[in-house]
């Protein structure tokens, strides 16, 4: 390496990055260091992964259950959904959404509002932003609600084991989740205002929306493509999990007098989840790794910002590619370790 004039070292991380990112979660400008650019870009990656995981789980569970429906049409639609989105390369799907579908959206000045206050335009999706007063009071109320729900659940389980009585835990939880934050509004002095996006004319023919939160089209295309693609795999995991429970389990549960809700909650779900969760986590990991395709449509994620722009500017190929790979490796291995621990915990103890 030396004879090629390459000096190895991580000193460049402290230098000024001097490039801009068009979408950031934290404050960032060109005067910040490379290290800070790394953190901001990593957060962008995590944001895409987080949104993708939420949407692909919702979609995947619905489709997976639909594939087992007794309704012929629903079953087949779900099957075709899976076959369709699973067999097209993710990169093409991202390109399709970004370059074809989202480009067909209206310009800001002609955009019709969705749900009254949000605007879907070619320049992105504009949603109202929330302006809180005394946010910490609200948050502590929320945390208090969650903590009390956990305690109530523990108490309910003990009560069930000791005296066989059952508490309506679900309704109590929902009630607590609504009432405590509501109290914070009424008594705690918490206020919530919405800042709506407003159309503003910049020049004769150029309009933008101001105020609110702007989600750039890159983010939308990525999240849509990632969640549609990954949801097909999640759906298959869910289907396999539910199918993996033998019919006898259900019948046995019914014969000891459990009602359908209890059968689902106490007999089917705990067993099905044991089959569903490990492969699904694997899919979440894949989604996180696939979010690096963001680089292809210029969404400022870790790969584009760090392994792309920063590498071009500094020429520190080994260090930067190394750091990028290590970052993904750390995410993957830590989730894998968590998964192993979980598997050990839930596996059926055989003699």
Partner 1 sequence: MNISLSKIKTSNPITNIYIGSFLLSLAIFDVFVYSFFDLNITSFLPGNLNLFFPLIIGFVGLSFIRMEYSGIKLVDNINKHINPSNFNALLTLLIIFTVLKAIPPALSWMVLDANISGDTKAACTGTGACWTYIKVWFKRFMYGMYPNELHWRINSAFILVIALGFVGYFFKENLKKYLALYYVVIYPIIAFLIIYYLISGGAFGLVWVETGAWGGLSLTFIVSFFCLIFCFPLGMILALGRRSNLPAVKYVSICYIEFWRGVPLITVLFMSSVMFPMFLPEDFFMDKLVRVIIAITLFEAAYCAEVIRGGLQALPRGQYDAAKSLGMGYWKMHIFVILPQALKLVIPGIANTFLALVKDTPLIFVVGLAEIAGMLALAKTNPKWLGFAMEGYIFAAIIFWIICYAMSKYSYNLEQKYKTER
Residue pair 245/280 in contact (Cβ under 8 Å)? The answer is no
Residue from 9, 31, 73, 255 touching partner 1 (CB under 8 A): that is 73
Nearer to partner 1, 267 or 302 (CB): 302
Residue from 103, 157, 158, 200 touching partner 1 (CB under 8 A): that is 103
259-to-169, 223, 234, 250 alpha-carbon distances in Å: 16, 39, 28, 10
Question: What single-letter DSSP state applies at residue 14?
Answer: G
346-to-61, 247, 342 alpha-carbon distances in Å: 21, 21, 6
Q: Does 243 bind partner 1 (CB under 8 A)?
A: no
Q: Does 89 bind partner 1 (CB under 8 A)?
A: yes
Residue from 26, 54, 68, 88 touching partner 1 (CB under 8 A): that is 88
Beta bridge partners of 200: 208
Q: Does 321 bind partner 1 (CB under 8 A)?
A: yes
Q: In the range 207-236, which residues lie near partner 1 by CB under 8 A?
A: none
CB of 142 to partner 1, least distance (A): 33
CA-CA distance, 265 to 285, in Å (whole number)?
27
Nearer to partner 1, 74 or 177 (CB): 74
Nearer to partner 1, 100 or 266 (CB): 100
Which one of 9-17, 183-191, 200-208, 315-323 is the stretch in contact with partner 1 (CB under 8 A)?
Answer: 315-323
Is the CA virtual torsion 235, 240, 245, 247 positive or negative?
A: positive
Q: Is 270 left (phi over 0), alpha (psi -120 to 50) or beta?
A: alpha
Q: Does 298 bind partner 1 (CB under 8 A)?
A: no
Q: In the range 322-341, which residues lie near partner 1 by CB under 8 A?
A: 324-325, 328-329, 331-333, 336
Strand extents, DSSP E, 101-160: 113-114, 118-121, 124-127, 129-133
Q: Does 49 bind partner 1 (CB under 8 A)?
A: no
Residue pair 57/234 in contact (Cβ under 8 Å)? The answer is yes
CA-CA distance, 137 to 329, in Å (whole number)?
38
Residues lying near partner 1 in the complex (CB under 8 A): 1, 3-4, 6, 69-74, 77, 83-84, 86-93, 95-96, 99-101, 103-104, 289-290, 292-293, 295-296, 303, 307, 311, 317-318, 321, 324-325, 328-329, 331-333, 336
């Amino acid at each position: 390496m030396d004879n090629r004039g390459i000096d190895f070292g991580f000193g460049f991380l402290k230098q000024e990055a001097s490039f801009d990112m068009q979408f950031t979660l934290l404050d960032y400008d060109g005067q910040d260091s490379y290290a800070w650019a790394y953190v901001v870009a990593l957060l962008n990656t995590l944001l895409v992964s987080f949104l993708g995981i939420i949407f692909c789980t919702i979609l995947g569970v619905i489709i997976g259950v639909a594939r087992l429906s007794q309704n012929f049409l629903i079953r087949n639609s779900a099957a075709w959904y899976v076959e369709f989105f699973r067999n097209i390369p993710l990169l093409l799907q991202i390109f399709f959404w970004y370059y074809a579908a989202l480009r067909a959206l209206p310009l800001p000045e002609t955009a019709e509002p969705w749900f009254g206050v949000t605007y879907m335009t070619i320049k992105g999706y504009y949603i109202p932003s929330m302006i809180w007063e005394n946010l910490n009071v609200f948050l502590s109320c929320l945390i208090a609600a969650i903590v009390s729900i956990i305690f109530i659940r523990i108490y309910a389980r003990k009560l069930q084991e000791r005296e066989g009585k059952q508490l309506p835990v679900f309704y109590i939880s929902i009630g607590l989740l609504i009432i405590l934050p509501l109290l914070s509004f009424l008594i705690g002095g918490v206020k919530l205002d919405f800042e709506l996006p407003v159309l503003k004319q910049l020049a004769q023919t150029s309009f933008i929306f101001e105020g609110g939160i702007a989600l750039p089209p890159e983010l939308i295309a990525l999240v849509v493509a990632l969640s549609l693609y990954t949801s097909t795999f999640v759906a298959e995991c869910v289907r396999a999990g539910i199918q993996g429970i033998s019919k006898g389990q259900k019948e046995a549960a019914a014969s000891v007098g459990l009602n359908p809700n209890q059968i689902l909650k106490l007999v089917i779900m705990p067993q099905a989840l044991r089959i569903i969760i490990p492969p699904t986590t694997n899919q979440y990991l894949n989604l996180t790794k696939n979010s690096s395709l963001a680089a292809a449509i210029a969404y400022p994620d870790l790969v584009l910002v760090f392994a792309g722009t920063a590498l071009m500017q500094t020429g520190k190929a080994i260090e930067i590619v190394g750091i990028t790979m290590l970052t993904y490796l750390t995410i993957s291995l830590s989730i894998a370790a968590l998964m192993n621990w979980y598997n050990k915990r839930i596996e059926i103890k055989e003699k």
